[in-house]
């Protein structure tokens, strides 16, 4: 038997590009200082020619497409983000901050699947069977068929899966798994690449749905090589403020469904509870008729969610004013403040400005612009917007209010929660075809520029 010979190569952490020497800039993704050194094992016994079955290309018109087989998790918010349930043979990556609830969510999913008669294997490289059992006892009854395995050697995990033939496998987490022949530490670029590739082959070859937990870096992206996100079928991010009770499951990649869908959960003592009406929960405790408080409507996938945008503008005590944005883009807030100063003549250059999206959600949709502008003006002039008002729209650099998509769904969601006045782009107002009974007497106010917003405020 030929002995393995160790060889050192360099991998790009962003795209996985391989090089025999260290490079300052990756030729693949053009990022700087992303190459790391990893040992690999090469066979020294000469090349062995493998016989493979030759495959011929087929015509696109001859390919038969059948609808993918899905399994419902019985957790409505999770099924929504997955696109209608778990696809058989799919590889799903779940990322999130430590302690945010990734393991709890997947354990609750296992509970529902086991009660539905599915064979599930939960593999943990971070906790023992006793620790998992303690957490499971807090979540309720799991029945008698839940399988646990505390192991970090991927070859042993693959062997167990091939023997037990479960329908769903949970790997918690990918950074703890390793293959001994690679020689590098668990969590390194080479280990994460190889273990993910092995799990992908296992999922496709045995038609097993595999969920992989991934840690995130301080920048909020999954730790390890970026190629990890490209290899899997679905990428889910579990977000939220650790000090708050709300959690948001966001789909950023899905080969079997739409992206940017959001599932909302509330963390309680007995686990995660679905929030069926996020708008109502996000507006709980909102102050009425207070300056700087404005309600907006954001579209997360196909779901409209009402959120409260808060602004605080006050005179600064320093030479350089302080600007802070929580839940939205900081640079976008600075841009909108510049538009207000230039187009409306409101001088905020000597004021501190703080913007907050209440509830812990992060919103990057342009439709939030009008609400941010209204909140800033309201706080600066110490004039409150009527408590029954809602506004949304994109603001351009010359102060125009531009049209946004899905305006009808936003208006209907606001009417359902009892809002009586909606400030929206004039273009959208002219295109709406909503009956009076549907919007429940809501007044629609269309504006073309932020000058008209001053009159409404």
Residue with tokens 């590098």: 184
> CB within 8 A of 224, min separation 6: which ones?
13, 174, 175, 187, 189, 192, 214
In residues, how long is the chain?
Answer: 457
pLDDT band at residue 170 using 50, 70 and 90 as cut-offs: very high
Mean pLDDT to the nearest integer, 331-360: 92
Prediction pTM value: 0.77
- Residue 129 in contact with residue 147, Cβ under 8 Å? no
Nearest CA to 309 out of 287, 338, 340, 335 is that of: 287
Quote the pLDDT of residue 351.
Answer: 92
| pLDDT tens digit sequence for 35-77 | 887 766 554 444 334 445 567 898 988 888 777 889 999 999 9
Of 20-29, 316-325, 400-409, minimum mean pLDDT range: 20-29
Q: How confident is the prediction for the chain on average, in pLDDT? A: 86
Delimit the domains of the chain by residue range. 4-43, 69-276, 281-456
Quote the pLDDT of residue 4.
Answer: 47
pLDDT band at residue 166 using 50, 70 and 90 as cut-offs: very high
Quote the pLDDT of residue 40.
Answer: 62
Helix (H, G, I), strand (E, B) or coil at 447: strand
d(CA 173, CA 216): 11
Mean pLDDT to the nearest integer, 88-105: 90
| pLDDT tens digit sequence for 291-323 | 999 999 999 877 899 999 999 999 988 888 999
| pLDDT tens digit sequence for 213-264 | 987 765 555 555 566 788 899 999 988 776 677 888 988 899 988 877 889 8
Of 7-21, 176-190, 281-295, 442-456, minimum mean pLDDT range: 7-21
Quote the pLDDT of residue 359.
Answer: 80
Q: What class has domain 69-276?
A: alpha beta
| pLDDT tens digit sequence for 138-148 | 898 888 888 99
Helix, strand, coil percentages, rounded to 5, for the chain: 30, 30, 40
d(CA 5, CA 230): 30
Which is more confident, 324 or 318?
324
- The reply to whether domains 69-276 and 281-456 share a CATH topology is no
Quote the pLDDT of residue 44.
Answer: 45
- Residue 285 in contact with residue 245, Cβ under 8 Å? no
Quote the pLDDT of residue 242.
Answer: 66
Q: Is the pLDDT at 1 greater than 50, yes or no?
A: no
Quote the pLDDT of residue 432.
Answer: 86
Own/partner pairs for 403-406, CB < 8 Å, 24+ apart? Answer: 403/427, 403/428, 403/431, 404/366, 404/367, 404/428, 405/299, 406/299, 406/304
Which is more confident, 160 or 269?
160
- Overall fold of domain 281-456: Ribosomal Protein S5; domain 2 (3.30.230)
> CB within 8 A of 114, min separation 6: which ones?
120, 142, 143, 145, 146
């Amino acid at each position: 038997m030929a002995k393995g010979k160790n060889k050192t190569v360099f991998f790009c952490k962003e795209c996985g590009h391989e090089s025999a020497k260290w490079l300052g800039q990756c030729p693949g993704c053009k990022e700087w200082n992303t190459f790391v050194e990893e040992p690999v094992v090469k066979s020294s016994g000469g090349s062995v020619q493998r016989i493979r079955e030759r495959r011929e290309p087929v015509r696109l018109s001859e390919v038969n497409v059948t609808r993918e087989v899905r399994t419902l998790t019985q957790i409505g918010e999770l099924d929504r983000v997955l696109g209608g349930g778990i696809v058989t043979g799919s590889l799903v990556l779940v990322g999130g901050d430590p302690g945010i609830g990734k393991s709890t969510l997947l354990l609750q999913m296992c509970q529902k699947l086991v009660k539905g008669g599915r064979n599930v294997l939960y593999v943990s490289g971070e906790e023992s069977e006793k620790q998992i059992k303690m957490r499971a006892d807090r979540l309720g009854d799991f029945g008698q068929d839940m399988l646990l395995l505390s192991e970090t050697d991927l070859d042993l995990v693959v062997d167990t899966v091939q023997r037990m033939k479960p329908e769903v496998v949970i790997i918690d987490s990918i950074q703890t798994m390793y293959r001994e022949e690679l020689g590098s530490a668990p969590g390194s670029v080479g280990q994460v690449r190889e273990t993910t590739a092995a799990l992908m082959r296992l999922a496709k070859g045995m038609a097993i749905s595999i969920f992989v937990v991934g840690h995130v870096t301080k920048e909020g992206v999954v730790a390890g090589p970026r190629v990890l996100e490209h290899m899997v079928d679905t990428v889910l991010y579990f977000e939220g403020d650790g000090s708050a009770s709300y959690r948001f499951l966001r789909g950023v990649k899905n080969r079997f469904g739409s992206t940017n869908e959001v599932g909302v959960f509330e963390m309680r003592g007995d686990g995660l509870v679905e929030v069926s009406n996020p708008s109502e929960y996000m507006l709980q405790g909102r102050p009425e008729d207070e300056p700087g408080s404005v309600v907006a409507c954001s579209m997360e996938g196909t779901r409209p969610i009402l959120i409260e945008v808060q602004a605080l503008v006050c005179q600064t005590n320093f030479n350089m004013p302080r600007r802070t944005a929580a839940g939205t883009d900081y640079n976008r807030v600075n841009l909108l403040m510049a538009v207000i100063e230039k187009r409306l003549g409101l001088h905020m250059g000597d004021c501190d400005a703080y913007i907050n999206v209440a509830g812990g959600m992060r919103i990057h949709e342009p439709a939030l612009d009008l609400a941010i502008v209204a909140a800033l003006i309201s706080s600066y002039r110490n004039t409150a917007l009527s408590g029954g008002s809602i506004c949304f729209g994109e603001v351009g650099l010359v102060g125009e209010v531009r049209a946004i998509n899905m305006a009808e769904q936003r208006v209907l969601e606001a009417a359902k929660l009892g809002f009586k006045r909606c400030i929206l782009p004039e273009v959208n107002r002219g295109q709406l075809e909503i009956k009076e009974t549907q919007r429940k007497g809501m007044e629609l106010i269309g504006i073309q520029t932020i000058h008209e917003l001053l009159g409404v405020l």
